[in-house]
Amino acid sequence: MPDSRRGRIRTSAAWAPAAALVAGVGVSGCEAGPGPGPGVTSRPSPSPKPTPAWDPSPASIAAVGDSITRGFDACGILVDCPEMSWATGGDARVNSLARRLLGPSALPARSWNLARSGARVAELPSQMAKAGARKPGLVTVMVGANDACRDSTALMTPVADFRASFEEAMRELREVSPKSQVYVSSVPDLKRLWSTGRGSALGKQVWKLGVCASMLGDADDLGPAAEERREQVYRRVVAYNGVLRDVCAKDRLCLYDGGAVFDYRFTGEQLSPWDWFHPSGDGQQRLAEIAYRNVTAPVPPA
């Protein structure tokens, strides 16, 4: 199995502009340029517009993405369990990001789960438009697993298309809600999920029904062709995370998780007992912990 550090992606996100201001101070030359002509008063350069500070206490939260954010298979077989969502769920055992930031009593009125099970990144622009219409203080994004989880590697979303859709999604949000902060979770390491879940005989039987066939198909086949297929999916997920990082870094109110979800080592307890792939309630809790730690951190994830 490849070293997970290959997939770790780091960013300074919303804090990057501050570093840019420091870098902008001239250090390459000491020779003064020509001064103003006689009778011309020198005018000071206008001060750059300050970058808004990241607010660790948003007043409302909207979540977009796919089945992970919908809590799919976290409380039953083949059903969404939004109450157990890491982002907006109300279940006290999960203690979602919204529950931690807003408090339990505020969840119905000030948090919205707009994700859809099965969604790929091409659907994200429409989800973002719906989120932006609510003017949330924070939008959480977790998308990309379904773009890699296809019937074959040939059907995986091309990286260029993934980038175009995510860029469009950010534009859709900014057109209607320019002040909303955005927290972007990395795509989980699907190869690690395969490695963990294949220890369950029941899980492997469920996988045969077509769960993420590009990675989970023929789960016990360790031959060269199967290993190369899984490696292709792994590399594609790494590339998707690079896109999430780069596009997020261009938005002054966007924070990428630094690869925290990709790097997290899910155990059997954190996988759904019904499909051994989606997060269980325990897994959703771990995702909520990661998000809360990053959103409230005094320095960006690294």
Whole-number pLDDT of residue 32: 38
Whole-number pLDDT of residue 160: 98
Name the class of domain 54-295: alpha beta
User: Beta strand pairing status for 138-142 and 61-65?
Assistant: parallel
Cα separation values, 224 from 132, 207, 227, Å? 46, 20, 5
Token pair, residue 220, equals 């016990």
Stated length of the chain: 302
Q: Which residues of the chain have pLDDT under 50?
A: 1-44, 47
Would you state the torsion angle of the CA atoms of residues 105, 110, 115, 116, taken in this order, to the nearest 10 degrees? 70
DSSP-based three-state secondary structure for 249: helix
Whole-number pLDDT of residue 301: 84
Contact indicator for 248, 185 with CB cutoff of 8 Å: no
Residue with tokens 């954010």: 69
Query: Using CA atoms, how far apart are residues 242 and 158, in angstroms rounded to an integer?
Result: 13
